[in-house]
Chains A and B, each alone.
Chain A
Amino acid sequence: MGRSKFRLLGQSWLFWVAVILVFLAAQWVLMPRLTEFRRTAWVMFPSIMAIICLGLNFIYGFNGQFSLGQWGFYAIGAYASAVMTYRLKDQFTYPIEGLVFNTPPLLQRLIPLEQIDLFHFDLGQSGLLLAATLFGALLAAVISLGFGYIVLLRLGSDYFGIATLGFTVIVQTLLINSDRVIPETKGARGMVGIPQLTSFFWAFVFLVLAIVVIRNVLYSSVGRAVVSVREDELAARAMGIDTLKYKTIAFVIGSFFAGLAGALYAHLYAFLSPIYFGFVKSFDPMIIIVFGGLGNLTGTLLATFIWAITLEGMRIWLPQGFEAWRFVVYPIVLLLMMLLRPQGLMGKLELGFLRAPKWPQRATSKAEAPTAEARRETPEPQEAVQ
């Protein structure tokens, strides 16, 4: 395996340095060149969407359970964290000045900013976002544990899809009427006044975390047990895999990330409406993972950004008055995709650290098995007389 000792979440220091460089490049080089709208719609929103899609791919692509319920867990994470930050937003604030540099003129070609802020943020508000995100994600995970266990106990893949679709519809209905219990949500009118706390930093940190965690689980014995359920559930059971347990584990992990993505979404636009959490939109993550390739992490990541920039981006591209045409372009693109490349964008190919770790073959310990020659020398079994 690795040469150096340092490992965080199984990744070497080289990986983490690369992550930091990618972040800095995006933050200072890419983001200032985009308009405010595109920063949100093309970079931050797809980063959040990628988190829920990775979770869904873990459930559907790797474990083979067709789930349309992720949108419901996304809504739960969004509303739970939004209510939390709404109530606590004034109590936690602790600004940190950090460091501010004037950008050297030479660097300004690369970094189009007058000043570079380093560690300039509000510690209280960031802590609040972190807590709210974890709260939303854990709530989604706990609910998915209860719901998933009961439903998976009885229902196979397709029926599971219908049950989870039902879950999304139930969550939306509850949210429409939620103002009777939690007045802050304002029910069908939509929730306003959520602090806009999701910065690119947080979207990026949680996306990297989601990628690394899902990759790590996948390439472990737990992940192999999860994938074996997709491959052949009966054989998995006969090999000693508790398939119900691993279906539930996969569902809970996927829902945890859906809740996490929901929490980040709530604090991105600072507005939540139950209409957005309806079942029509719930197909978006499904479309993305099928487009990127079921059971492919690289494909999911690429597909999320492509989806956000092209398909969702058609709202910006298409001339005024033609926005509705995207519902014509959209299915045609998907249809072509299904016909021309049913295995998805990436197929089986994973890139970089998302590839499965290879183990060297061991030539040394060739056990004392009878070789093919030795077997041939053994006497023929007596032919039975019938």
Chain B
Amino acid sequence: MSQDTAQGPVVLDVQGLAKNFGGRLTTQGYEGGLWAVRDFDMTVSEGELVGLIGPNGAGKTTVFNMISGLISVTDGVVTFQDQSLVGKRPHAITQAGIGRTFQNIRLFPQLTVLDNVRIALHPHCGYGLLHSVWQGGRFATCEREVTEQAQDLLAIFDLQDRQDEIGSSLPYGEQRRLEIARALAAEPKLLLLDEPAAGMNPQEVHALMDLIQFIREKFDLTIVLIEHQMRVVMGICEWITVMDFGQVIARGTADDVSNDPKVIEAYLGRQGRGVGSS
């Protein structure tokens, strides 16, 4: 597994993660409710590009939401660069170095492309409320820096000509790219991409995967990528974790995983491969 051949130090360590929706807490643990995620383990080392795949409803996004603090953790440990993330508020987790995108794009819809990116740069802007009221030299310098940083990021994603357009008016593929640019503006060390290829055609998916490889090297990123179409991640992810019904059913390299009978069953069903093949 990934621990055995890790090149770098462990960046993200998730152990025994669990999420129960709607259950009642009793002395014997949770009673009833739905276990969206249960006993989820995952270790990501520095510089890796890890895929998290599974059929719809497997609990992949719930795992992301727990790591980034948007929903509470029922049970388990999340450690990022030796600090525990459980119970931290989402903005603190982001400022600690975890950026993310959303499955159903969540841009700031009425703001310009430039402002979408500049908002994520806010924790690094270097001035406060009084500076912005007075608008002195510090404000002007910092504002220029923030804007240039944002424009550089937009240029990487081929969006530099779009900076004054409204975020929600961009075509779908550009909205996806803008969301990744915005996530990068928060200066993450670990980037969580939630189905970045959803709704894209095969050419766009190829271009996107190349772009992900590119930003990973340029920004020294560790990336975890959710995908429910298996073939998308096969080409670029070193390690793949497969989930189904909230639990890990397989992990390993692309080849290991794609030949795993449990994975095939999860994707195709028990009779999916015909007689004798599974």
Chain B 184-214 against A: per-residue CB contact (8 Å), 1 yes, 0 no? 0110000000000000000100110111001
A-B contact count (CB 8 A): 175
CA A53 to CA B217, docked complex, whole Å = 50
Chain B 111-150 against A: per-residue CB contact (8 Å), 1 yes, 0 no? 1001100111111010111011111100110110011100
Q: Which of A66-74, A140-148, A224-232, A326-334 contacts B (4 or more CB under 8 A)?
A: A224-232
A235 and B107 form a contact (CB under 8 A): yes
B151 and A221 form a contact (CB under 8 A): no
A7 within 8 A of B: yes
Q: Dominant SS at the B interface?
A: helix
Contacts of A378 in B (CB 8 A): 206, 210
Contacts of A365 in B (CB 8 A): 148, 151-152, 155
B206 and A384 form a contact (CB under 8 A): no
Of A10, A232, A375, the residue contacting B109 (CB under 8 A) is A232
A118 within 8 A of B: no
Q: From B235, which residue of chain A is reached at the shortest CB distance?
A: A381
Within 8 A of B (CB), among A320-340: none
Q: How many positions in chain A have a CB within 8 Å of any CB in the partner chain?
A: 50
Of A217, A231, A361, A384, the residue contacting B108 (CB under 8 A) is A231
Contacts of B236 in A (CB 8 A): 381
Q: From B64, which residue of chain A is reached at the shortest CB distance?
A: A238
A181 within 8 A of B: no
B31 within 8 A of A: no
CA A382 to CA B235, docked complex, whole Å = 5
A41 within 8 A of B: no
B156 within 8 A of A: yes
Contacts of B151 in A (CB 8 A): 359, 361-362, 365
A225 and B91 form a contact (CB under 8 A): no
CA A142 to CA B7, docked complex, whole Å = 53
A384 and B119 form a contact (CB under 8 A): no
B258 and A385 form a contact (CB under 8 A): yes
CA A376 to CA B205, docked complex, whole Å = 11
A367 and B139 form a contact (CB under 8 A): no
Q: Check A383/B231 contact, CB under 8 A, given A361-B151, A367-B152.
A: yes
CA A372 to CA B158, docked complex, whole Å = 9
CA A371 to CA B214, docked complex, whole Å = 11
Contacts of B142 in A (CB 8 A): 221
B230 within 8 A of A: yes
B245 within 8 A of A: no
CA A363 to CA B94, docked complex, whole Å = 30
B91 and A237 form a contact (CB under 8 A): yes
CA A221 to CA B125, docked complex, whole Å = 7
- Shortest Cβ distance from B23 into chain A, in angstroms? 23
B135 and A216 form a contact (CB under 8 A): yes
Of B122, B163, B214, the residue contacting A370 (CB under 8 A) is B214
Contacts of A1 in B (CB 8 A): 140
- Shortest Cβ distance from B117 into chain A, in angstroms? 10
Of B100, B121, B267, the residue contacting A238 (CB under 8 A) is B100
- Shortest Cβ distance from A332 into chain B, in angstroms? 30
Contacts of B203 in A (CB 8 A): 376
Of A240, A358, A363, the residue contacting B122 (CB under 8 A) is A240
CA A210 to CA B209, docked complex, whole Å = 49
Q: Check A375/B133 contact, CB under 8 A, given A224-B122, A236-B119.
A: no
B228 within 8 A of A: no
Could you say which of A1, A7, A381 has the most chain B C-beta atoms within 10 Å of its C-beta? Answer: A381
Contacts of A361 in B (CB 8 A): 151, 160-161, 163
Could you say which of A224, A240, A367, A386 has the most chain B C-beta atoms within 10 Å of its C-beta? Answer: A240
A65 within 8 A of B: no
A261 within 8 A of B: no
Of B91, B131, B155, the residue contacting A241 (CB under 8 A) is B91
CA A84 to CA B150, docked complex, whole Å = 49
- Shortest Cβ distance from B208 into chain A, in angstroms? 9
Contacts of A371 in B (CB 8 A): 158
Of A217, A224, A367, the residue contacting B115 (CB under 8 A) is A224
CA A22 to CA B160, docked complex, whole Å = 40
CA A109 to CA B252, docked complex, whole Å = 90
B84 within 8 A of A: no
CA A216 to CA B133, docked complex, whole Å = 5
- The 9 A-B residue pairs whose C-beta atoms are closest, nearest first, are A381-B235, A10-B135, A220-B132, A384-B234, A231-B108, A240-B94, A221-B125, A237-B90, A235-B106
28 contacts between A and B (CB under 8 A): A216-B134, A216-B135, A220-B132, A221-B125, A225-B119, A232-B107, A237-B89, A237-B90, A237-B94, A238-B68, A239-B119, A239-B120, A239-B122, A240-B95, A240-B186, A359-B114, A359-B151, A361-B151, A362-B148, A365-B151, A365-B152, A370-B210, A370-B214, A378-B206, A382-B234, A384-B235, A386-B258, A386-B268
Q: Besides the contacts A232-B108, A240-B120, A361-B161, what 12 more A-B pairs have beta carbons closer than 8 Å? A: A217-B132, A224-B115, A231-B111, A237-B90, A241-B123, A366-B155, A372-B158, A375-B206, A375-B210, A375-B211, A376-B203, A383-B231
Chain A contact residues, CB within 8 Å of chain B? 1, 7, 9-10, 213, 216-217, 220-225, 227-228, 231-232, 234-243, 249, 358-359, 361-363, 365-367, 369-372, 375-376, 378, 380-386
